[in-house]
Amino acid sequence: MIAYLVALRAIVLREAMRFMNQRSRFLAALVRPLVWLVVFAAGFRAALGLSIIPPYQTYITYEVYIVPGLCGMIQLFNGMQSSLSLVYDREMGSMRLLLTSRLPRWWLLFCKLMAGVAVSILQVYVFLAISAAFGITMPLMGYVYLFPVLILTGLMLGALGLLISSTIKQLENFAGVMNFVIFPMFFLSSALYPLWKMAESSTLLRDICAFNPFTHAVELIRFALYESFNGMALLWVVLAFAVFMAGSLIGYDPARGMVRKARG
């Protein structure tokens, strides 16, 4: 048990030190959602005409509505960037060395996920603090309820990035694949507009958004910030995490990798 905790501590600290040395990554993680919050919110609010947002049935500003979606955006981008570091580690050989440890492969990959989750939670709370400084606030206990939700949604989105990274053989190919995944997941979700508003435009698009796991991650974050609970969103997030993690374990199986290399 001690060896498991030592591995978790070492991997999380390594990721934290790497993050601290990449200040541009931290700034980019904050600038991106802040631009959406300050610049694009005015245009979207005027276009959508949102004033009453189910399920809360209360008057809120559009800026308040999209804050949970932007929190999800931070975790989505961070999950992909953490996976990018995995591709780099695999090319450098450090990932192969890690997977040859005596500890189970699932625990080592879980430690990598937790390291990314810890970084993303820090980014989310800094973003929420900046938003609060501009008067965009949530219920006080919502910030407390948000913490365990961010761990779960961060694990799910990180596992998705882990699954994608297991299929990428070269570092330069990852950026294109990352954009191909991130932007459809973000725009085809409830991050920027509620599903009932999407249904007014297209039932098919609404169904796609409802099937998108990122939608349920955003809704889980949104309900937590409003001191509420969404059981269906929780179920979807847990199931998505289980599927993505299982695929990652298969993709990072050293034996399967050797088989593919021999066949190649």
Q: At what angle do helices 62-92 and 174-187 cross, to 10 degrees?
A: 160
> What's the pLDDT tens digit per position in 227-246?
888 999 999 999 999 999 99
- What is the percent of the chain where pLDDT is above 90? 20
Residue 163 lies in a domain: yes
Mean pLDDT score, 55-60: 50
Closest C-alpha to 163, from 181, 190, 183: 181
| Tokens representing residue 191 in the block | 């991050």
SS3 call for 59: strand
Closest CA to 195 of 211, 208, 206: 206
List the domain range (segments joined by +) for residue 91.
2-258
CA distances from 106 to 39, 209, 250, 256, 258 (A): 42, 30, 10, 15, 18
Kindly tell me if the per-residue pLDDT of 214 is higher than 90. Answer: yes
For the chain, the domain total comes to 1
**What local confidence, expressed as pLDDT, does residue 60 receive?**
63
CB neighbour burial string for 16-44, b if at least 16 within 10 angstroms, e if fewer: eeebeeeeebeeebeeebeebbeeebeeb
Residue 135 pLDDT: 82
Q: Is residue 224 part of a domain?
A: yes
Task: Give the integer Cα–Cα distance in Å for 68 and 180.
Answer: 22
Q: What percent of the chain has pLDDT over 70?
A: 75
Task: Report whether pLDDT(42) > 90.
Answer: no
52 part of a folded domain: yes
Q: Is the pTM of this model over 0.95?
A: no
Q: What is the mean pLDDT of residues 186-215?
A: 84
Q: Who contacts 50 (Cβ-Cβ below 8 Å, separation ≥6)?
A: 62, 65, 193, 194, 197
For residue 139, give the 3-state DSSP assignment: coil
State residue 119's pLDDT score: 86
In a domain, residue 263? The reply is no
The residue that leads in pLDDT, 92 or 218, is: 218
Average pLDDT, the chain: 78
At residue 132's C-alpha, the angle toward residues 129 and 136, to 5°, is 140
Give the model's pLDDT for residue 264.
46
